[in-house]
Each structure stands twice: as C-alpha cells, then as structure tokens.
C-alpha cells in the first residue's frame, strides 16, 4: 500500500501539520465578481421601484401634491442614475397640460446610486417649500412638503423595497 501513495500529497499532508487547509481565495474572488455584478443591478432596480412608490405616495397621500388642473400631479418623473424609470399618471382636468421630464443630466455620481424624483413645472418647488400656502383643495389633503414628508414618514418602506430588489437580484443571479 505504501507504494500507492503519491509523494506530493504526502508532502502536503506533512506541511499542513495534520490539519485541514481550505484555500478560499478563488471562492472569494468569484464572490467579489458576483457582488460587483448583481448588487448594482438590485440597487438600481430597487431605487427605481422605491422612487415610483415615493412619487405615487406624494400624489395620493396627505400632504398631497397640490391639485388644480392636474398639471403638477401629472408632471412627475423618476430617474435612477440619470435614466428615466417612469412618470406619473396623467390625471389632468380640462386646461391641465402635464409634461413629465424624459431626460435629466448631472445626477450620476461615481460610487453612489442616485434616485431623483422631479415634478416638472415652474411652480413645483415653490408649492413644495411653502406649506403655508392656502391650497384650493384643502379638503383633499393637498399641502407643502409633499415629497419631503413622505421620505420621513415612509422611508423604511422605501428602504425595504430596495432591499427586496437586491435580494431578488441575488437569488435570480445565483440560479
């Protein structure tokens, strides 16, 4: 039997001191590749879905995007890394003319993920930043800080949406 033993294996056994050695460098390198491939996809998809939910919440939950003709509500757009993910539903009444943005520039930041929600009217910022304004439809819950309030009130929900998509992307990528 001694003649059937490979001397190279015998030498490795002696060098290990009788213990088992697991070289995980290749595993770690493969895991790092997967991390770099799958995580950004999951984060971007999750930010897009969370951004769309945030925009919808701003339109539907108090304090809501102010409503007169529906131009402001229908002008919403969500971008992730500068790419359009979706726009708000056109709920314009007679006289309303919503024009959601289709392009945005200057939002990509190396090493960071950026979701941007835009309401594309000249007065969107003014109405958002001045909750003291008397809105025509007060009974409907319209008011200022319609985006900012949602981020504080429902931020955990938006983070969970991002986490869900990271998890889903990993599960699908490992199949």
Q: What is the pLDDT of residues 51-92, one digit of tens each?
A: 999 999 999 999 999 888 889 999 999 999 999 999 999 988
How far is it, in rounded angstroms, from Cα 116 to Cα 42?
A: 17
Q: How many domains is the chain built from?
A: 1
Report yes or no on 6 lying in a domain. Answer: no
Report yes or no on 11 lying in a domain. Answer: no
Report yes or no on 43 lying in a domain. Answer: yes
Report yes or no on 99 lying in a domain. Answer: yes
Report yes or no on 123 lying in a domain. Answer: yes
How far is it, in rounded angstroms, from Cα 112 to Cα 95?
A: 40
User: 154: part of which helix (H) or strand (E)?
Assistant: helix 148-173
Where is pLDDT greater, at 75 or 138? 75
37 pLDDT more than 90: no
Report yes or no on 147 lying in a domain. Answer: yes
> Whole-prediction pTM value?
0.80
User: Which is nearest to 79 in space by CA: 113, 125, 112?
Assistant: 113
Report yes or no on 17 lying in a domain. Answer: no
Range scoring the smallest mean pLDDT among 6-20, 70-84, 91-105, 120-134? 6-20
Q: What is the dihedral of CA 120, 122, 128, 132, to 10 degrees?
A: -150
How far is it, in rounded angstroms, from Cα 147 to Cα 69?
A: 19
Determine the structural domain holding residue 88 and report its residue range.
26-173
Report yes or no on 39 lying in a domain. Answer: yes
């Amino acid at each position: 039997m001694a003649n059937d033993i490979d001397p190279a294996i015998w030498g490795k056994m002696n060098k290990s001191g009788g213990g088992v050695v697991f070289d995980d460098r290749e595993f770690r390198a493969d895991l790092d590749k997967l991390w770099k491939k799958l995580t950004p996809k999951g984060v971007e998809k999750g930010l897009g879905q969370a951004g769309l939910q945030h925009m919808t919440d701003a339109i539907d939950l108090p304090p809501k995007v102010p409503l007169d003709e529906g131009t402001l509500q229908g002008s919403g757009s969500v971008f992730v890394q500068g790419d359009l993910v979706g726009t708000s539903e056109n709920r314009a009444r007679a006289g309303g003319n919503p024009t959601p943005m289709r392009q945005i520039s200057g939002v990509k930041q190396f090493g960071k993920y950026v979701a941007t929600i835009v309401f594309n009217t000249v007065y969107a910022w003014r109405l958002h930043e001045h909750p003291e304004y008397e809105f025509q439809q007060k009974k409907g819950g319209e008011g200022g800080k319609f985006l900012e309030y949602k981020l504080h009130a429902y931020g955990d929900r938006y983070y969970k949406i991002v986490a869900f998509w990271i998890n889903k992307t990993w599960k699908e990528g490992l199949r």
